[in-house]
Amino acid sequence: MSDAALHPPVETLHGAAPVAHASVAQIFLEFLLIGATSFGGVVPYLRGSLVTKRNWLDDKEFVEMLSISQSLPGLNATNMAVLVGEKLRGALGSIAAITGICLPGAALMYIVGIFYRIHGDHIWITAALKGVAAAAVGLILSTVVGLSKKSLAGKVDFVFIALTVIAVNRLHQSVPRTLIAVGLLAVLFHRPRNKQKESAAQ
């Protein structure tokens, strides 16, 4: 995920939301194109295509959908496809969008998998893969840093991050158990305060 993906500019809504005219076939083709070209992280490509080029969404909707996508299980890319497809054309739109965005990468990795199975122990390839795996670790760390800058509400959140890491890596707790235990703790910590309740009631 690139930096642009992590810091989408938040703009206010100018006037009405764009009126979207998209057929199921158009949705499929647009997402197929994104799925085939989005090297290095899907989100910036989604924005360029859906907001800038097609005008199917405005920036405010895009950021909202992205924040929903991030809170749900599932990859941002496929969750966004489902949400955008649903907005444009309901269930069929969702299916067209997620199929389109997955198809090129899935086909490519199918071929890569076969190739790797046959040639994976070639000395050139094992040497290259050591570098690739190390680079991928750096990439994930940069995603962690970017997300932390963007979505943490306070210093206490670092305690929840630490608890999660310790539970999984040190105590070898399963991911769902950790998710439920630490997640519940964190959600309760961020529970609606009276002030928020009042402003929500207004």
The residues in 97-126 that bind another protein, with binding defined as CB under 8 A, are 98, 101-106, 108-110, 112-114, 116-117, 120, 123-124, 126
Residue numbers 15-44 binding another protein by CB under 8 A: 34-42
Positions 123 through 162 that interact with another protein (CB under 8 A)? 123-124, 126-145, 147-148, 151-153, 157-158, 160-162
For 23, the 3-state DSSP assignment is coil
How far apart are the C-alpha atoms of 3 and 109, rounded to whole Å?
Answer: 25
Tokens 């190739």 found at: 115
Least separation in angstroms between CB 65 and another protein: 8
Q: Look at phi and psi of residue 36 and say left if phi exceeds 0, alpha if psi is from -120 to 50, else beta.
A: alpha
Q: Give how far Cα 122 sits from Cα of 108, 115, 118, Å.
A: 20, 11, 9
> Interface with another protein by CB under 8 A: which range of 10-18, 22-30, 50-58, 175-183?
175-183
The widest CA-to-CA distance across the chain, in whole angstroms, is: 67
Give 18 or 166: the residue with its C-beta nearer to another protein: 166
Number of residues that bind another protein (CB under 8 A): 104
Positions 46 through 85 that interact with another protein (CB under 8 A): 67-79, 82-83
